Every structure is written in C-alpha cells, then in structure tokens.
C-alpha cells in the first residue's frame, strides 16, 4: 500500500508544470568573500632547443647566474686554479633558456598540498617554449606572500618554422601551460566562517532578481532569514557551526527562483558585424530608409602631341577621370509604436539590409530617440 501511494505521489509530481524560466540561486549569485586570487611569479624555462633568449636579453643571464649560485655553482669568478681570472657571468649566452612570467589562479578554500594549473609566457626574445621545463618558481599574491611553488614540463601546442626566408606559425609557441604544475603552500583567510551572515551578491545586479531571491529563501526557511541590502547584495542569517553552515548554503544554492527580465539592450560588434538584440527591445514610431551610394571613379591616361611639322608644341601626358554615382531605389519601412524584436528583424530583412546596414539603422534609431534600449558598441 505504501509503495502504491509513493508511486502515485511520484506520478502526480511528475505531471506538475515546471517553470522552465526558473534558475538556481547558485547560477544567479556568488558568495561574498568566496573568490579566487591571482598569483604571479618570475622564472626560467630550460631545455629549449636553441629557441631561448640567447644573449639578446641581459636579465636572463643574470637570473641564470643567480639560480646557479644558489645551487653552489660559482660563475662569478675564477672557476679553478687552471682558469683565467676574471671570467664573468655576463659572457653567458643561454640559447636554451628563456625568462618567463608564470601566472596562476588560487581557488577559494585551496589547502596546502593541493595542485593548481599554471600558465607560462615569455618576456624576452625566446622564439618557442616547446619542450622546455620550468625551474622552481615562487608564485606570490598582491600582498607579496608566497602562496604556491611551480615547476614542471610545459605543454606548448604552438609551432614556428623558418626556412629559406619563409615563416609558418601555428598557435602561440611563446606560451605554455603546466597542468597541476604548482603546489599550494599557504591558505588564504576567508570570511565565510567569521560572520553571522552569508552575503549573496547577484552577478547581474537587478532589484527584481534580488527581491525574488530574498522571497525564495524566506519562503523556504522562514521569514526574516534573508533581507535585501540593495540591488546586488542579500544578507542571509546562517548557522554558526561550520558544518551546518555548509549544509545550509548547499540548500540555498539549489533553490530555484525566477529572475527579473534584463534591461533592454542592443550589443553591436562593429568589427565582425555581429548584432545581438535582447528580447525586451522596443521601438517607437519611426520611418527608416537606408541604402548605400556607390561612387565609381575610372581614370585613363592619355597623351597630347603637337601637330606634325609644327614650329612649336610639346608632348603632354594627362589623365581623364570619369565619375559615376549610383544610388539604388531603396524601400522605406515604417515602425509602428511598440514593435518588438521579431518585427524589427522582419522589417530589416525585408529590405535586404546587411549587418553593417543594420548597425547604421540601429545607431540612427538610438540617436533619434526611437530605440527604447541601451546601445552598446564593442
């Protein structure tokens, strides 16, 4: 009997309408203070097949001298009783060594001993990092503390080939990546466990979305659990016990709410001709006509000579130009008040406007005040 009731409940729940426009709070917000941190370091990549900095970058030799000195190798003076005094490290021309910048992203709550990926890029004259190995490098935060140590073989997919004056470059050979190439050595303090509240920040600030999230949390956990601070931040009263706080936040993240509609916006990429129009774009009454004027200029070179047996005169070269202007007869289309996205697209397609023409039309509509949307040009 219980099994039958359970099956009946499952069937009824499965037949209930689902709000397809609802999103998880996890996808709409991020927890304040729970963020990644950027790390940076300077190091050397060795083992290159003649594609290193060579003698063109002085600090590569200085860095190599410093590394060898720390390993007990004397490169600043006389090497032995049989060497000539005055041998200097400035004579080092490491063709198989490159100076690089190493960057990484330290995830939130990363613990000592965990591994993170690192990116390596040349800063000197190296042509390729293919086949190189990064020497032990300290990765620092903006506070100057060392949070990770990086070392390992690079993965570089770029290839550069030079032969007989021709050059072929595939990818970016001057940068590479080391998966799990750095070991975390220090934790970053997090305010997650130090406050009575958990603050959720809406990724796309919106008062409607902030209110929807607040109402959804209070509906699930009781009134007063969450309160909106502004259009971005929502303060949520959380348990003091760390384990309970993690479980509580996990339940909040999986709650589904219906966010507010985004502001009407038209995004234009002038370089590629891409135009993205959001769903809420409206246009007031306006009449539009658009068409390019084609100007064709053709030039011919001619020569003028004096008459035969003339006492005076000279040969003169001159150029004749023929200018032709063509203006096609374009249709004019009328936007009725409050037309939506589909009508805008249909009207523009009807006159056969190209993406560049569409951009010009949208800019003109915005200038005239007929376009009820933000026009963003990137």
Q: What are phi and psi of 12, to 5 degrees?
A: -65, -45
On whether both 285 and 360 belong to a single domain, the answer is yes
Q: What are phi and psi of 345, to 5 degrees?
A: -65, -40
Pairing of strands 146-153, 115-122: unpaired
CB < 8 Å & 24+ apart, contacts of 224-233: 229/199, 231/202, 231/205, 231/206, 231/207, 232/201, 232/202, 232/205, 233/32, 233/199, 233/200, 233/201, 233/202
On whether both 201 and 162 belong to a single domain, the answer is no
Give the separation between CA 206 and CA 158, rounded to whole angstroms.
Answer: 43
On whether both 179 and 247 belong to a single domain, the answer is no
CA angle 53, 55, 57 (to 5 degrees): 60
On whether both 213 and 174 belong to a single domain, the answer is no
Residue 178's closest CA among 133, 125, 114, 128?
A: 133
Contact 112, 101 (CB under 8 A): no
* Domain end (from 133, 162, 184): 184
At 316 the pLDDT is 67
At 308 the pLDDT is 66
Give the separation between CA 210 and CA 218, rounded to whole angstroms.
Answer: 12
Position 311 in a domain: no
* Domain end (from 124, 152, 184): 184
On whether both 88 and 144 belong to a single domain, the answer is yes
At 334 the pLDDT is 59
How many residues make up the chain in this entry?
378
pLDDT tens per residue, range 332-356: 555 566 666 567 666 666 666 667 7
Give the separation between CA 314 and CA 293, rounded to whole angstroms.
Answer: 41
Number of domains observed in the structure of the chain? 3
On whether both 177 and 239 belong to a single domain, the answer is no
Give the separation between CA 216 and CA 229, rounded to whole angstroms.
Answer: 15
| CATH number (domain holding residue 249) | 3.30.70
Position 317 in a domain: no
Tally of CB atoms within 10 A around 367: 10
Tally of CB atoms within 10 A around 80: 6
Position 359 in a domain: yes
* Domain end (from 208, 231, 257): 257
On whether both 215 and 126 belong to a single domain, the answer is no
Cα separations in angstroms, 113 against 146, 166, 181, 184, 203: 14, 47, 12, 5, 31
Q: Is 24 helix (H, G, I), strand (E, B) or coil?
A: strand
On whether both 139 and 218 belong to a single domain, the answer is no
On whether both 86 and 134 belong to a single domain, the answer is yes
Residue 223's closest CA among 211, 232, 214, 235?
A: 214
Position 362 in a domain: yes
Residue 24's closest CA among 186, 253, 317?
A: 253
Position 4 in a domain: no
Give the separation between CA 28 and CA 212, rounded to whole angstroms.
Answer: 11
Give the separation between CA 362 and CA 270, rounded to whole angstroms.
Answer: 12
Domain that holds residue 371: 265-291+328-377
Position 282 in a domain: yes
On whether both 58 and 138 belong to a single domain, the answer is yes
Residue 94's closest CA among 59, 137, 136, 134?
A: 59
Contact 158, 174 (CB under 8 A): yes
On whether both 147 and 273 belong to a single domain, the answer is no
Position 25 in a domain: no
H or E element, residue 213:
helix 207-221
Residue reference for tokens 């020497």: 135
357: burial class by Cβ within 10 Å (0-12, 13-18, 19+)? Answer: middle
On whether both 123 and 212 belong to a single domain, the answer is no
Position 126 in a domain: yes
Along the chain (378 residues), what's the average pLDDT of each consecutive run of 10 residues? Answer: 36 41 88 92 91 82 85 68 47 81 94 95 88 93 94 80 63 87 92 86 91 93 91 92 91 91 82 78 72 54 65 64 54 60 67 70 79 82
């Amino acid at each position: 009997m219980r099994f039958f009731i359970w099956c009946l409940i499952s069937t009824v729940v499965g037949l209930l309408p689902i709000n397809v426009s609802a999103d998880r709070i996890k996808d709409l917000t991020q927890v304040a203070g729970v963020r990644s941190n950027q790390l940076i370091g300077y190091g050397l990549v060795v083992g290159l097949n003649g594609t290193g900095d060579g003698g063109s970058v002085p600090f590569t030799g200085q860095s190599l001298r410093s590394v060898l000195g720390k390993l007990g190798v004397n490169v600043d003076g006389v090497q032995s009783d049989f060497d000539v005094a005055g041998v200097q490290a400035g004579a080092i021309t490491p063709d198989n060594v490159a100076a690089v910048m190493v960057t990484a992203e330290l995830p939130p709550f990363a613990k000592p001993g965990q591994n993170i990926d690192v990116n390596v890029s040349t800063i000197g004259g190296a042509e390729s990092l293919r086949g190189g190995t990064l020497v032990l490098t300290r990765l620092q935060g903006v506070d100057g503390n060392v949070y990770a140590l990086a070392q390992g073989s690079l993965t570089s997919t770029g290839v550069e080939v030079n032969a007989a004056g021709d050059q072929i470059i595939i990818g970016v050979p001057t940068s590479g990546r080391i998966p799990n190439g750095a070991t975390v050595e220090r934790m970053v303090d997090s305010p997650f466990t130090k406050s009575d509240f958990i603050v959720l920040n809406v990724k796309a600030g919106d008062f409607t979305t902030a209110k929807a999230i607040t109402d959804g949390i209070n509906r699930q956990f009781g009134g007063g659990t969450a309160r909106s601070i502004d259009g971005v931040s929502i303060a949520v009263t959380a348990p003091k016990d760390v384990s309970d706080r993690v479980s509580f936040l996990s339940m909040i993240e999986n709650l589904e709410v219906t966010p507010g509609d985004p502001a009407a916006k038209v995004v234009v990429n002038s370089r590629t001709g891409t135009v993205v129009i959001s769903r809420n774009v409206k246009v007031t009454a306006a009449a539009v006509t658009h068409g390019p004027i084609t100007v064709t200029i053709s030039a011919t070179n001619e020569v003028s000579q004096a008459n035969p047996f003339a006492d005076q005169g000279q040969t003169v070269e001159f150029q004749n130009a023929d200018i032709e202007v063509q203006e096609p007869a374009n249709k004019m289309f009328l936007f009725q008040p409050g037309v939506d996205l589909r009508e805008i697209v249909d009207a523009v397609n009807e006159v056969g406007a190209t993406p560049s023409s569409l951009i010009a039309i949208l800019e003109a509509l915005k200038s005239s005040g007929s376009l009820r949307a933000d026009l963003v040009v990137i």
